[in-house]
């Protein structure tokens, strides 16, 4: 059924008053909030502390306090930043968990809309036409139940592959030209960003389902069976959505670490192509480089949202069961108190008919009513924590305590390594680098140097080995059998190291 102009307008009016992304874009201080939050979220991978967001937004408001358009009080920017941030948390543009702020799909939608105004990434008509034609052919083949058509399609593919194989064997390897490479890189980037948006929508959906489940628990209008059914049905419904199926397939890929590592290697190969700077700017290149890591963290956030729902239901089941046991005990106590008022010495009272059959164990040494009484467990005697300060001399502290501080400073080692490589001006092997920069933590240092080489895409020759001997502080000699790799300052200097 086609949607009329009136119905469409009503839907837009509803979105204008309810959707967080539209509310943000229509607000007076939208440029300041968007610029501040996007900068903070680009630098962080696990949310941002509430204090950092307040400080950054307060500084942003102070910078624009002189402009009347934004209605900013220059003497109360911190208070105004707090109100602004709480308002957007209330409108679910961002979510706050345990003192940290996390972006939602609504915030990502607003950021993508603003970015599309001046840096829209589009592929050519020919590229999109070929993609559409290929998908039409695949869909038509998949929907056609005729064996003849399926056989003809498979034979065409086999012929195309055999022809391509013959060309490659003859030395005619056809690679994409620069324009096609740029289009392909941009298409991959678009698909990669849409994957993160799918994960964010799954997390938002799970959080919304968790909130509805909490309301059901708090309202006490549903018994435990209904709560469990609602949890399981909600999980099945979320996994049956398009973004839920994408998330589930990525979870299956995570269980096969080889495929995830292959995807990382292919991304590194793509990012080393000369056409990458023309296709993507530096933030986009960095985002594509860390795609696998960010997808893993996004999936962890989704799993944490689902775990919160399961934990709430489990707690509700336990507390509800304990409450029911307590109510049954109170009811039994009431019955037993009434039974105590009966004159059990009179035979006529003992032989009166009752609606309840006698239940109990014949323990003649204890009065009947006493051995049936429900007793509560008194567990009020809890010890108090001793938080008083107790002075102690430094000589009483064991050496293990001081040795714990003697760890590898990864950031300092990276900076020292880059400085040494810059002085040499050429690729330096691990053995030569160990002589120029003697490692204080030998095994950790070699592991970090190898990780730097892999991150920069420098080839590590596992077949070609290099023996490196070191002497520790106890005059003991250690020999390390390492793969050969040449660390180059030009390949390492532009990497955004995440420690």
3-class DSSP state for residue 240? coil
On the question of pLDDT at 264 being above 70, the answer is yes
On the question of pLDDT at 123 being above 50, the answer is no
- How far, in Å, CA of 221 to CA of 237, rounded? 22
Instruction: Annotate 267-322 with DSSP letters as a single string.
Output: HHHHHTSTTHHHHS-HHHHHHHHTHHHHHHHHHHHHHHHHHHHHHHHHHHHHHHHH
The boundaries of the domain holding residue 299 are 125-163+177-313
What pLDDT score does 464 carry? 83
- The reply to whether 155 and 277 lie within a common domain is yes
On the question of pLDDT at 117 being above 80, the answer is no
Measure the CA angle with vertex 337, ends 333 and 340; round to 5°.
140
- How far, in Å, CA of 92 to CA of 477, rounded? 60
Q: Give me the mean pLDDT over the 418-427 stretch.
A: 86
Among residues 261, 280, 313, the one where a domain terminates is 313
333: in domain: no
CATH of the domain at 109: 1.10.10
- The reply to whether 17 and 88 lie within a common domain is yes
On the question of pLDDT at 409 being above 80, the answer is no
Q: Is the pTM of this model over 0.75?
A: no
- The reply to whether 129 and 260 lie within a common domain is yes
What pLDDT score does 78 carry? 86
- How far, in Å, CA of 25 to CA of 113, rounded? 9
183: in domain: yes
Q: Give me the mean pLDDT over the 354-366 stretch.
A: 60
What pLDDT score does 93 carry? 82
243: in domain: yes
Q: Give me the mean pLDDT over the 88-92 stretch.
A: 82
96: in domain: yes
What pLDDT score does 291 carry? 80
On the question of pLDDT at 352 being above 60, the answer is yes
Among residues 291, 313, 335, the one where a domain terminates is 313
- How far, in Å, CA of 91 to CA of 24, rounded? 10
487: in domain: yes
- The reply to whether 147 and 269 lie within a common domain is yes
Q: Give me the mean pLDDT over the 175-182 stretch.
A: 82
Percentage of the chain beyond pLDDT 70 is 73
- The reply to whether 104 and 135 lie within a common domain is no
On the question of pLDDT at 429 being above 50, the answer is yes
Catalogue the long-range contacts made by 363-370 (C-beta closer than 8 Å, 24 or more residues apart).
369/336, 369/339, 369/340
345 vs 374, higher pLDDT: 345
Among residues 271, 287, 313, the one where a domain terminates is 313
Residue-wise pLDDT for 452-475, tens only, equals 888 788 888 888 888 888 877 777
- The reply to whether 155 and 282 lie within a common domain is yes
Bridge partners of residue 471, in order along the sequence:
477
- The reply to whether 64 and 140 lie within a common domain is no
330: in domain: no
357: in domain: no
On the question of pLDDT at 439 being above 70, the answer is yes
- The reply to whether 219 and 282 lie within a common domain is yes
- The reply to whether 91 and 149 lie within a common domain is no
- How far, in Å, CA of 342 to CA of 416, rounded? 90
- Domain count for the chain, please give it: 3
- The reply to whether 220 and 140 lie within a common domain is yes
- The reply to whether 484 and 447 lie within a common domain is yes
48: in domain: yes
What pLDDT score does 125 carry? 47
- The reply to whether 210 and 134 lie within a common domain is yes
**Tokens linked to 82:** 């707090």
266 vs 47, higher pLDDT: 266
């Amino acid at each position: 059924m086609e949607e009329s102009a009136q119905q469409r307008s009503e839907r837009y009016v509803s979105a204008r008053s309810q959707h967080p992304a539209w509310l943000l874009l229509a607000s007076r201080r939208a440029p300041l909030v968007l610029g501040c939050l996007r900068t903070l979220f680009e630098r962080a991978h696990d949310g941002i502390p509430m204090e950092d967001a307040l400080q950054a937004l307060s500084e942003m408001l102070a910078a624009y306090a002189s402009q009347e358009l934004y209605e900013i009080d220059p003497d109360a920017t911190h208070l105004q930043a707090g109100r602004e941030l709480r308002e957007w948390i209330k409108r679910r543009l961002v979510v706050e968990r345990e003192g940290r702020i996390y972006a939602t799909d609504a915030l990502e939608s607003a950021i993508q809309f603003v970015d599309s105004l001046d840096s829209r990434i589009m592929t050519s008509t020919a590229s999109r036409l070929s993609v559409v034609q290929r998908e039409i052919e695949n869909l038509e083949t998949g929907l056609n139940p005729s064996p003849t058509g399926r056989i003809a399609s498979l034979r065409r593919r086999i012929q195309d592959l055999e022809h391509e194989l013959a060309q490659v064997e003859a030395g005619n390897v056809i690679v994409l030209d620069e324009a096609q490479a740029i289009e392909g890189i941009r298409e991959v980037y678009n698909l990669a960003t849409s994957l993160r948006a799918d994960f964010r929508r799954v997390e938002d959906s799970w959080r919304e389902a968790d909130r509805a489940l909490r309301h059901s628990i708090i309202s006490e209008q549903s018994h435990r069976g209904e709560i469990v059914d609602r949890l399981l049905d909600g999980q099945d419904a979320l996994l049956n959505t398009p973004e839920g199926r994408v998330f589930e397939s990525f979870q299956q890929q995570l269980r096969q670490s080889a495929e995830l590592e292959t995807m990382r290697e292919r991304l590194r190969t793509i990012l080393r192509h000369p056409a990458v700077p023309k296709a993507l700017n530096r933030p986009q290149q960095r985002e594509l480089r860390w795609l696998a890591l960010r997808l893993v963290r996004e999936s962890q956030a989704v799993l944490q949202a689902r775990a919160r729902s399961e934990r709430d239901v489990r707690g509700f089941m336990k507390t509800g069961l304990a409450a029911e046991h307590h109510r049954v005990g109170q009811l039994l106590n009431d019955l037993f108190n009434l039974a105590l008022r009966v004159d059990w010495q009179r035979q006529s009272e003992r032989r009166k008919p009752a609606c309840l059959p006698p239940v109990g164990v014949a323990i003649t040494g204890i009065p009947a009513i006493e051995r049936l009484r429900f007793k509560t467990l008194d567990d009020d005697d809890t010890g108090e924590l001793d938080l008083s300060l107790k002075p102690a001399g430094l000589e009483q502290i064991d050496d293990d305590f001081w040795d714990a501080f003697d760890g590898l400073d990864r950031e300092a080692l990276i900076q020292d390594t880059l400085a040494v490589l810059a002085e040499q001006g050429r690729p330096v092997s691990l053995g030569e680098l160990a002589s120029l920069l003697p490692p204080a933590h030998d095994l950790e240092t070699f592991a970090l140097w190898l990780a730097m080489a892999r991150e920069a895409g420098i080839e590590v020759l596992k077949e070609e080995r290099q023996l490196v001997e070191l002497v520790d502080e106890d005059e003991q000699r250690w020999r390390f059998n390492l793969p050969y790799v040449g660390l180059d300052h030009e390949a390492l200097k532009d990497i955004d190291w995440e420690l």
